[in-house]
């Protein structure tokens, strides 16, 4: 994020990103671990969110949680959450490049962004691959069909999203 954020906002952003990714990967049961007692308390109804920004985050998280058949969030100690804590600190810092870590920089918090679905779809080189992986349909041209089957090997389709397999 380019605007200053609190640790709790960074934790909420990380949780929202994880919930979105789990939903895209078609998970139906999810158990989240969080070292923020406040956030776990908000979500489990043990603490009341009083600050307007935290209320917005809690509402957004509950919206995402409703997409799962089963969801649980548990509090863990900071020492058991070192990797996630490092990512949270990175999210709230000014630096935008961390080597091999995939990052996405938002200009506004998740609570202020509108989710947009692309309705104008231009033809793309991935369309035949998606059609093949989704429906098993190949182009009639044999050369093109061979190209698609060879090209689709490193890809996997989860829902409507196309992912490239890798070793990392």
Q: Which residue ranges form the domains of the chain, and what is each CATH number?
A: 7-112 (3.30.420.10), 127-164 (no CATH)
Indicate the range of 1-5, 29-33, 85-89 predicted with least confidence.
Answer: 1-5
State which of 33-47, 77-91, 118-132 shows the largest mean pLDDT.
33-47
| C-alpha count within 13 angstroms, C-beta hemisphere, residue 113 | 12
Q: Please give, one letter per residue, the 3-state secondary structure of 110-140.
A: HHHCCCCCCCCCCCCCCHHHHHHHHHCCCCC
Indicate the range of 22-26, 92-96, 105-109 predicted with least confidence.
Answer: 92-96
């Amino acid at each position: 994020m380019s605007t200053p954020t609190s640790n709790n906002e960074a934790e909420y952003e990380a949780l929202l990103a994880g919930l979105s990714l789990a939903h895209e990967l078609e998970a139906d049961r999810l158990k989240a671990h969080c070292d923020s007692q406040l956030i776990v308390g908000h979500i489990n109804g043990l603490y009341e969110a009083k600050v307007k920004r935290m209320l917005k985050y809690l509402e957004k998280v509950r919206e995402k949680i409703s997409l799962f058949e089963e969801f649980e969030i548990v509090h863990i100690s900071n020492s058991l959450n070192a990797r996630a804590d490092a990512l949270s600190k990175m999210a709230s810092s000014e630096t935008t490049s961390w080597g091999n870590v995939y990052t996405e920089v938002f200009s506004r918090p998740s609570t202020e962004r509108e989710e947009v679905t692309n309705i104008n779809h231009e033809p793309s080189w991935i369309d035949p691959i998606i059609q093949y992986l989704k429906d098993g349909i190949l182009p009639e041209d044999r050369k093109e069909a061979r190209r698609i089957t060879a090209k689709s090997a490193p890809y996997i389709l989860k829902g409507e999203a196309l992912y490239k397999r890798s070793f990392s």
